[in-house]
């Protein structure tokens, strides 16, 4: 039986497993929202048509509302069942064996599987000091066809200034730039308003993080109409569920709920930095998580689990030896995390 032999070279993206005896653990490992979602979403019920039927009329509605939320035309929006699906579609549409792709390191690793299924020509731009507050500001994109990076960066939480990114996009018109803005809401700055000004800029977004809808899978692309038309030719509109669309519509209608959670997260983040032992290295994060360097990440991970906290050891990533990423939540969560981390200061 024939299959794509590039699959043999892939390393499976491994999502952490939560065992039955860990059901009451705090989920601080996958950057899911630790804040309550609107009750109107919890009380959602689908009519028979919403279960047995495809999202014929609902998909245009969520597309329009996402456009309003981002202050762009609905013609610049394409909705997917999660931003990972959007990213996979982008690499499917814009990569082949000859495509030269540049990714940043450390960064979101799921995209590696999407890229390596298409091309072996993958290059890395390495952050030499991921635990500092300095971000990559200079890069050479000569002979590069496609660039991917997250902003804010997962797993560091650092950001690259908009003027730097736009300078890259402007000076490298033949290179397609994919900017993953999964954590936009926590940062508050976006390149969404620029997509119509450039033929080589794609933004991806998700409802999984700030909106707390990770289990429903809802994401989208913001880009110029030409790229929208290309992606839309092979997008399966039926993949977005009616339930996800309804929850997304409610989320965009009840933005005061989101704003309340973001204010609380800002407070939690301030508490974390103000009370973290100064000997522990951590870059300033603009996301809903923090990255910290421990004396021994394995010991700290075990201690966190003893206290019923799930976290993510990122030690295997470039320049992140003994580093742990922890999702922030309400004040009570942060205080519990701090009490453990400060016992293991370097």
Q: Flag the least confident range among 22-31, 131-140, 221-230, 312-321.
A: 22-31
Q: Does pLDDT of 305 surpass 60? A: yes
> Which tokens belong to 144?
């590069």
pLDDT of residue 22: 67
> Distance between CA atoms of 179 and 81, rounded to whole angstroms?
18
Collapse the DSSP code of 177 into the 3-class scheme (helix H, G, I; strand E, B; otherwise coil) and give the result: strand
Percent of the chain with pLDDT over 90: 87
Tens of pLDDT, residues 250-294: 999 999 999 999 999 999 999 999 999 999 999 999 999 999 999
Res 344 pLDDT > 80: no
Residue 21 has pLDDT above 70, yes or no: no
Could you say which DSSP state residue 51 is in? H
pLDDT band at 186 (very low <50, low <70, confident <90, very high): very high
Length of the chain: 346
Domains of the chain: 5-37+256-344 (3.90.1150.10), 39-253 (3.40.640.10)
Q: Are 269 and 275 in contact (CB under 8 A)?
A: no
Q: For residues 70 and 77, what is the distance between their CA atoms, to the nearest angstrom?
A: 10
pLDDT top residue among 235 and 56: 235
For residues 200-220, give the mean pLDDT.
97
For position 12, what pLDDT does the model report? 79
How many CA atoms lie within 13 Å of 317's alpha carbon, on the beta-carbon side?
27
Q: How far is CA 54 from CA 59, 161, 242, in A?
A: 9, 40, 7
Res 49 pLDDT > 70: no
* Cα–Cα distance, 204 to 86 (Å, whole number): 7
Band (pLDDT 50/70/90 cuts) for residue 15 is confident
Average confidence score pLDDT of the chain:
94
Residue 20 has pLDDT above 70, yes or no: no
């Amino acid at each position: 039986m024939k299959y794509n032999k590039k699959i043999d070279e892939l390393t499976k993206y491994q999502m952490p497993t939560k065992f039955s005896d860990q059901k009451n653990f705090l989920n601080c490992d996958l950057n899911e929202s630790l804040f309550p979602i609107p009750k109107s979403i919890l009380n959602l019920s689908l009519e028979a048509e919403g279960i047995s039927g495809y999202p014929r009329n609902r998909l245009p509605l969520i597309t329009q509302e996402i456009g309003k939320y981002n202050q762009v035309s609905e013609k610049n929006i394409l909705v997917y069942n999660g931003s990972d699906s959007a990213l996979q579609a982008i690499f499917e549409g814009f990569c082949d064996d000859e495509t030269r792709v540049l990714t940043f390191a450390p960064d979101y690793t799921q995209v590696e599987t999407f890229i390596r299924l298409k091309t072996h020509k993958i290059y890395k731009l390495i952050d030499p000091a991921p635990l500092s507050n300095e971000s990559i500001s200079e890069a050479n994109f000569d002979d590069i066809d496609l660039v991917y990076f997250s902003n804010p960066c997962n797993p560091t939480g650092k950001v690259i200034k908009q003027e730097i990114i736009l300078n890259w996009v402007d000076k490298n018109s033949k290179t397609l730039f994919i900017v993953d803005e999964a954590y936009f809401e926590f940062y508050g700055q976006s390149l969404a308003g620029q997509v119509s000004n450039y033929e080589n800029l794609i933004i991806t977004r998700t409802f999984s993080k700030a909106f707390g809808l990770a289990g429903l899978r809802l994401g989208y692309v913001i880009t110029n109409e030409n790229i929208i038309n290309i992606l839309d030719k092979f997008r399966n509109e039926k993949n977005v569920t009616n339930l996800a669309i309804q929850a997304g519509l409610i989320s965009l209608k009840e933005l005061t709920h989101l704003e309340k959670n973001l204010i609380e997260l800002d407070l939690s983040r301030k508490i974390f930095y103000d009370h973290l032992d100064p000997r522990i290295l951590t870059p300033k994060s603009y996301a809903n998580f923090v990255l910290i360097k421990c004396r021994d990440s394995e010991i700290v991970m075990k201690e966190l689990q003893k206290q019923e906290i799930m976290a993510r050891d990122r030690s295997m990533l470039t320049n992140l030896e003994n580093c742990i990423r922890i999702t922030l939540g309400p004040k009570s969560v942060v205080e519990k995390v701090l009490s453990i981390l400060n016992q293991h200061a370097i």
